[in-house]
Amino acid sequence: MSKYQSVRGTRDLLPSLKKTFRAIDQTAFQTAQKYGFNEIETPIFEFSDVFHRSLGETSDAVSKETYTFQDRGGDSITLRPEGTAGVVRSFVSEGLAQLIPLKLYYYGPMFRYERPQKGRYRQFYQFGVEVLGLETPLADIECLDLAWNVLKKLNLSERCTLEINTLGDTESRDAYRKALVEFLTPLKSQLSADSQVRLEKNPMRILDSKDENDKKLILKAPLMQNFLNEKSKDFFAKVIQGLEQLKIPYKINPKLVRGLDYYCHTVFEFTTTELGAQSAILSGGRYDGLVEMLGGPKTAGVGWAAGVDRLADLCESTLAHPKEEVVFGFAAIGARAEIEALRIGSQLVARGKKCVSLHNGTLKKKLEKISKLTADATTVYGVLLFDQDNGSIEIKLKNFVTGEEKVVTVEDILKL
């Protein structure tokens, strides 16, 4: 065994798994495009303040999990732990406010220093969408409908549950925060160390605590729904009405708050019971104050991100991979035949065909490998080339689906 191993919490996406990742990515890309979303890609690292300000110093993503370091220029740099803050930073720094409403999607690796376990990695992958510049609950509904359709296309809609809640607007949250602090202050000594800090800085985050004793203490905590003003009630009611009209099943979870500080109004998670402790596979919500927090104009925002690693764990064995229409497998015997096989294959590739050249093993072994290509293609042609004593090359074409075999010319092959 090599002394060099992948870093703990990371993994190699070997061809079979990468194939599943790519199928998920393409499904999400194509669905987002149908909804009028355009792709954006932001850097893997940002100045640390982009994440530390937007996610909140008391969030686990900042206080415990970010990969933060000082670069050679003395700047504090952080590998992105999520995608929204980078997209919003781009919106502000690139002056995109004049283009609102903006509908964007992204894909890429994220980094968090977490305890590795099934469905949780220190380098993980997310597909996400963001809508900037729309205050209407219709934007929330459309984002949820997009998420639902992505999961349906992945054959996962029956295996997950949409949990949804509202955090209300600033006025509602301030009233709720006051009531929550009054409830939790007498219990402070019984709270976990993390929650004692949160009680001072961001008490609503205690509702998101993973500590078992914290969970027991907040069972009788006041509920956000009892502190919503009319504006917040109306906003959430319209989102729920939209879900019902679109026939998207949901469950209201009054203790769902999400782990990042920038959320307001709608928050949601699609969860599953099939991945153990890591139940959330797609999460998001509304973040109307985030653009201002990063120095931009007052701009509404809503979006979500899906964990591609977890989606792959769920659908790797059931996801249907599209088959190639035609694949050519080349088996050549003889030096001249081997070069001719590459020449013909190059011409076929230029015509948009997939070609697999086999360069080692006996003819029998090569034919066995070509036969296996039928698992991923509708039609598989074996192109068999043989050096002849007179200096010519004999070419045989075998259809591995029908079994038909015949002698052909290069022109015959190029016409297929």
Report pLDDT digits (tens) over 131-175. 999 999 999 999 999 999 999 999 999 999 999 999 999 899 889
Calculate the average pLDDT of the chain.
90
List phi, psi (to 5°) of 404. -65, 140
pLDDT band at 256 (very low <50, low <70, confident <90, very high): confident
- Examine the pLDDT at 61 and tell me if it is beyond 60: no
Rounded to whole angstroms, what are the CA distances from 185 to 56, 105, 165, 179, 204?
21, 42, 25, 10, 13
pLDDT of the residue at 230: 95
pLDDT of the residue at 218: 86
Cα atoms found within 13 Å of the Cα of residue 220, Cβ hemisphere only: 5
Task: For residue 198, give the nearest of 214, 219, 212 by alpha carbon.
Answer: 214
Q: Which pTM value belongs to this model?
A: 0.87
Average pLDDT value for residue range 341-370? 93
pLDDT of the residue at 349: 95
Average pLDDT value for residue range 244-259? 89
Rounded to whole angstroms, what are the CA distances from 339 to 164, 334, 387, 388, 416?
61, 9, 11, 14, 21
| Higher pLDDT, residue 275 or 285 | 285
Give the domain 324-414 fold: Rossmann fold (3.40.50)
Say which residue the tokens 């042609």 belong to: 381
pLDDT of the residue at 159: 92
User: Which residues is 382 bridged to in the sheet?
Assistant: 329, 398
Delimit the domains of the chain by residue range: 15-169+229-315, 324-414
Say which residue the tokens 């991923």 belong to: 376
Percent of residues, the chain, with pLDDT higher than 70: 95
pLDDT per position as a tens digit, 176-227: 889 988 998 988 888 888 888 888 877 887 887 778 888 888 888 888 889 9
- Examine the pLDDT at 278 and tell me if it is beyond 90: no
Say which residue the tokens 């009209």 belong to: 245
Average pLDDT value for residue range 385-397? 94
- Examine the pLDDT at 259 and tell me if it is beyond 80: no
Common-topology check for domains 15-169+229-315 and 324-414: no
| Higher pLDDT, residue 278 or 338 | 338
In this structure, CATH architecture of domain 15-169+229-315: 2-Layer Sandwich (3.30)
